[in-house]
Amino acid sequence: MAKTVTGMLKVACICTVLAGVCSAENTSSAPGAGADVVGTGRPRIIRSEQGSQQLQAAVYNSVGTTPISPADLRAASTAEVSGMEQTLQKYQSAFENLSLPQVREVWPTLDRRREGTFRDVFQTFRSTAWTRHLELQCAAPMVANERASLDCRETLAYGEAGSVLRHTGPVRVAILLKKQPSGWVLENMKRN
């Protein structure tokens, strides 16, 4: 019993650290939720609601390296949204599979500090054998300069199989994706 409680506290702390590693200073309202389903049986990550261009510019500027104005943004095409959805699903799967190589595949610029945090979280989950489910809900993205900004909510559900799962979040996360010849990849992620 004490080992389980200690494990749960460790996961909660590590999840807080992971969210904190991806942190920024500003706060704004969360994207709406939808119930669309993609062919994988998972709920859609990217919703059809579009945030304001000012909010999307703020999201982009909070995670991007080059500031942009709202006028520089355009709505993502259907094909772009589909590619972004696939990238975010790969990120979810990588986390749920506790696979650092899969995380690096969708986030090739992952820095050592975040990589170490992922490693610690994954090691804790492996030592407890808990189930885990990472959920992302994002407003429709805006694109500028081959980069897409997404305003998202991230929730982590975890616990022993067959028991009531504990939840960390939802936490607001700004995600910046970059278009590469092979498709979209994560470029940056910050907690809002």
Q: Are 186 and 172 in contact (CB under 8 A)?
A: no
Cα distance between residue 86 and residue 148, in whole Å: 14
Task: Read off the pLDDT of residues 7-36 as tens digits, 9 standing for 90 and up.
Answer: 443 454 444 445 444 443 333 333 333 444
What would the two tokens of residue 1 be?
Answer: 């019993």
pTM: 0.76
Task: Read off the pLDDT of residues 75-100 as tens digits, 9 standing for 90 and up.
Answer: 899 999 999 999 999 999 999 999 99
Cα distance between residue 97 and residue 103, in whole Å: 10
Cα distance between residue 186 and residue 149, in whole Å: 10
The overall average pLDDT reported for the chain is 79
Task: Read off the pLDDT of residues 50-74 as tens digits, 9 standing for 90 and up.
Answer: 665 666 666 666 666 677 777 778 8
Q: Are 142 and 56 in contact (CB under 8 A)?
A: yes
Task: Read off the pLDDT of residues 141-175 as tens digits, 9 standing for 90 and up.
Answer: 999 989 999 999 999 999 988 889 999 989 999 99
Enumerate domains of the chain plus CATH numbers: 2-191 (3.10.450.50)
Which residues, listed in sequence order, are joined to residue 155 by a DSSP beta bridge?
A: 135
